[in-house]
């Protein structure tokens, strides 16, 4: 489905419907709102830095933006950090009121999670941009590759251990979700 | 886990492709895309029909499947409460890093009770002492049984041993006083094995009466029991679900007393439980109070036995003012009726 510059895949609708069905605590609308804030942060930063969005694609494993024209490393790094930045800002503002604390906590968790140093996350992208500026894109790519593999492997191992020993599959699911990103990216290449 | 599957945002550089590359292949691509969309539509339809028919024909089974799936995916983590705690830390009520660490442990950490944490030193028990003593004395124990029963703890602690002969020789002496050295089971030890034979209990729930050790307790709200612990038809949804606590009827604004001395572990609010609070009484014993109209204690605050912690209300999914009380010991939900009084029982 395409609506203006936004493309919504069937997978996204299916995942959203499924999660909404499973949600018993009313977290899903809050998480969706936090994701929208995150996205708005990226969008606003890209526009402010002189870029433009060609397409926003919502898929079952997340959202991604395609730019009309590539940004330089510095601006790309700033744009990458803008999403978590908006979440952290929202968390700081909303925690002042008791009614906003759940949403505040959710924003903080979302912001921190996105700062993970893997290339499919904002933290990894910002790290790659910084390294590219300081030591060149070759080193940044090599470091990024090592980080991707190390973090995903560590999470898979920890996830499998926790799932086996304690029947807690949360870490394993996050690790698989991360791995699916890398698989998808490799397929695209 | 939507907060982890739907939250990822990324943007990527434009991978421009020359329009000419599509050319003749465009028809093939469009056809393939249409076929993929048709398959996706069929999958969606099949899932919708499965959920629709399943909900009508096997509502309980579908609800059970949903519960099992949710437990598997989230390990029964109360995400709302966990996020609220982070928000409270950010507001300066707690150390943020510590709370984030606790959040990670809660989300990714063990979902099963840690049995090793249950090993504690036996302490005198007050609440179930009379019941245990009545049961023991009704068996007409002889002198040896009585000495074993009452002195075992003291003897083990002092390192002394009393032989049967010694006990017989001391028949003329006054009998040991039960109040002085009561034998009390350790926290988590089964005091009364339930003969429950109904539907299989959800994981983490028991019908047995477990010892709370030496914990002194009171009844938080004395009232009629509107709904007991166990499977029941939910009063609002009408679904046959497990009720993990008891509903004690009360008047709006009636004080809720702390079941035992302890610390406020967390407070929160959601659509289901309304305003809720959990107290940690130590040794893995916790009490949970829901549907409150108001709370008068804060997270981390110490509360005394019987201290007012809030007021009865009907917040959340409730049909009237009542207290939903849950008791947990060593990671297991217990039937609170073993430990409290109620008007219906008198």
Q: Which of residues 261-280 of B touch A (CB under 8 A)?
A: 268, 270-272
Q: Chain A to chain B, count of Cβ pairs less than 8 Å apart?
A: 203
Domain carrying residue B228: 190-338
Chain-chain contact of A104 with B78 (C-beta, under 8 angstroms): no
Which of A37-54 are b and which e, b meaning 16 or more Cβ less than 10 Å from the residue's Cβ? bbbebbbebbeeeebebe
Q: Which of B115, B143, B172 is where one domain is finished?
A: B115
Contacts of B300 (CB under 8 A, 6+ apart): B93, B94, B263, B264
- Is the residue at B153 inside a domain? no
Chain-chain contact of A67 with B13 (C-beta, under 8 angstroms): yes
Locate the domains of chain A by residue range. Answer: 1-115, 117-189
In which element (H, E) is residue B291 found? strand B285-295
- Is the residue at B43 inside a domain? yes
Interface TM-score (ipTM) > 0.85: no
Higher model confidence: residue B210 or residue A24? B210
B18 touches chain A (CB under 8 A): no
- CATH number of the CATH domain containing B258: 2.70.70.10
Model confidence over B69-108: pLDDT tens digits? 766 666 666 777 778 778 877 777 667 777 778 777 777 7
Same domain, B242 and B328: yes
Q: Which of B115, B138, B162 is where one domain is finished?
A: B115
Same domain, B200 and B316: yes
| The overall pTM is greater than 0.90 | no
Question: What is residue A130's predicted lDDT score, i.e. its pLDDT?
Answer: 92
- Is the residue at B165 inside a domain? no
- With the C-alpha atoms ordered B47, B49, B51, B53, is the resulting torsion angle positive or negative? negative
Helix axis angle for B79-88 and B96-108, nearest 10°, is 170
Say whether pLDDT at B22 is over 70: no
- Is the residue at B230 inside a domain? yes
Contacts of A128 (CB under 8 A, 6+ apart): A119, A140, A141, A143, A144
Nearest to A104 among B12, B87, B272 (CB): B87
Residues in a beta bridge with B256: B310
- Is the residue at B317 inside a domain? yes
Question: What is residue B1's predicted lDDT score, i.e. its pLDDT?
Answer: 36
Highest average pLDDT, of B94-108, B125-139, B230-244, comes from B230-244
Question: What is residue B176's predicted lDDT score, i.e. its pLDDT?
Answer: 55
> Measured between beta carbons, which residues in chain B are less than 8 angstroms from residue A34?
3, 7
Chain-chain contact of A109 with B72 (C-beta, under 8 angstroms): no
Higher model confidence: residue B320 or residue B139? B320
Report the alpha-carbon distance of residue B325 to residue B244 in Å, rounded: 9
Same domain, B201 and B108: no
Same domain, B105 and B199: no
Q: Which of residues 42-101 of B touch A (CB under 8 A)?
A: 43-44, 47, 51, 66, 69-70, 72-75, 77-80, 82-88, 90-91, 100
Closest-CA residue to A32 (of A1, A57, A65, A63): A63
A interface mutation test: which of B45, B52, B87 has the most A CBs within 10 A? B87
Same domain, B109 and B20: yes
Model confidence over A84-136: pLDDT tens digits? 999 999 999 988 887 888 889 899 999 999 998 888 889 999 999 999 989 88
Higher model confidence: residue B259 or residue B150? B259
- Is the residue at B181 inside a domain? no
Chain-chain contact of A14 with B66 (C-beta, under 8 angstroms): no
In this prediction, residue B48 has a pLDDT band, given cuts at 50, 70 and 90, of: confident
B130 touches chain A (CB under 8 A): no
Pair B213, B191: CB distance under 8 Å: no
- Is the residue at B312 inside a domain? yes
Model confidence over B165-212: pLDDT tens digits? 444 444 445 555 555 555 677 888 888 888 888 888 888 899 988 888
Same domain, B321 and B219: yes
Taking residues B220-225, report their average pLDDT. 90
Domain count, chain B: 2
A14 touches chain B (CB under 8 A): yes
């Amino acid at each position: 489905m395409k609506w203006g510059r936004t493309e919504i895949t069937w997978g996204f609708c299916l995942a959203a419907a499924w999660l909404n069905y499973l949600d018993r605590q009313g977290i899903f609308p809050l998480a969706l709102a936090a994701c929208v804030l995150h996205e708005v942060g990226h969008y606003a930063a890209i526009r402010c830095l002189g870029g433009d969005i060609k397409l926003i694609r919502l898929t079952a494993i997340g959202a991604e933006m395609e730019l009309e024209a590539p940004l330089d490393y510095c601006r790309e790094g700033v744009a990458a950090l803008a999403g978590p930045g908006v979440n952290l800002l929202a968390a700081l503002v909303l925690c002042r009121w008791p009614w906003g604390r759940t949403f505040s906590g959710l924003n903080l968790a979302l912001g921190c999670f996105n700062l993970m140093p893997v290339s499919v996350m904002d933290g990894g992208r910002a790290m790659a941009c910084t390294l590219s500026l300081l030591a060149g894109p070759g080193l940044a790519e090599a470091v990024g590759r090592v980080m991707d593999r190390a973090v995903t492997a560590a999470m898979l191992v920890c996830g499998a251990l926790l799932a086996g020993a304690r029947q807690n599959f949360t870490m394993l699911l996050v690790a698989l979700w991360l791995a699916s990103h890398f698989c998808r990216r490799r397929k695209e290449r | 886990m939507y907060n982890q599957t739907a939250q990822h945002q990324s943007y990527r550089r434009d991978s421009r492709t020359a329009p000419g590359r599509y050319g003749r292949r465009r028809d093939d691509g469009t056809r393939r895309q249409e076929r993929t969309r048709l398959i996706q539509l069929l999958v969606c339809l099949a899932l919708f029909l499965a959920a629709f028919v399943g909900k009508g024909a096997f509502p309980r089974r579908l609800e059970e499947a949903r519960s099992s799936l949710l437990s598997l995916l989230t390990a029964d983590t109360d995400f709302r409460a966990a996020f609220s705690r982070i928000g409270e830390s950010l507001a300066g009520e707690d150390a943020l890093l510590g709370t984030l660490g606790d959040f990670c442990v809660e989300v990714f950490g063990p979902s099963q009770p840690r049995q090793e944490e249950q090993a504690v030193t036996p302490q005198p028990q007050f609440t179930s002492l009379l019941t245990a003593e009545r049961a023991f004395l009704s068996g007409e124990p002889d002198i040896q049984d009585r000495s074993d029963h009452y002195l075992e703890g003291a003897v083990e602690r002092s390192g002394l041993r009393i032989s049967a002969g010694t006990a017989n020789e001391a028949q003329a002496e006054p009998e040991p006083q039960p109040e002085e050295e009561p034998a009390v089971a350790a926290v988590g030890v089964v005091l009364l094995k339930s003969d429950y034979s109904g539907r299989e209990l959800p994981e983490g729930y028991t019908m047995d009466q477990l010892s709370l050790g030496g914990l002194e307790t009171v009844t938080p709200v004395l009232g009629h029991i509107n709904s007991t612990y166990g499977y029941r038809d939910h009063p609002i949804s009408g679904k046959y679900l497990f009720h993990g606590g008891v509903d004690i009827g009360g008047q709006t604004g009636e004080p809720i007393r702390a079941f035992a001395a302890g610390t406020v572990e967390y407070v929160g609010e959601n659509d289901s439980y309304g305003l809720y609070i959990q107290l940690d009484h130590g040794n893995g014993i916790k009490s949970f109070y829901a549907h409150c109209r108001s709370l008068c204690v804060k997270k981390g605050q110490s509360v005394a036995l019987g201290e007012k912690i809030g007021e009865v209300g009907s917040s959340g999914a409730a049909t009237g003012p009542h207290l939903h009380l849950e008791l947990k010991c060593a990671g297991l939900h217990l039937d609170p009726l073993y430990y409290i009084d109620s008007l219906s029982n008198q």
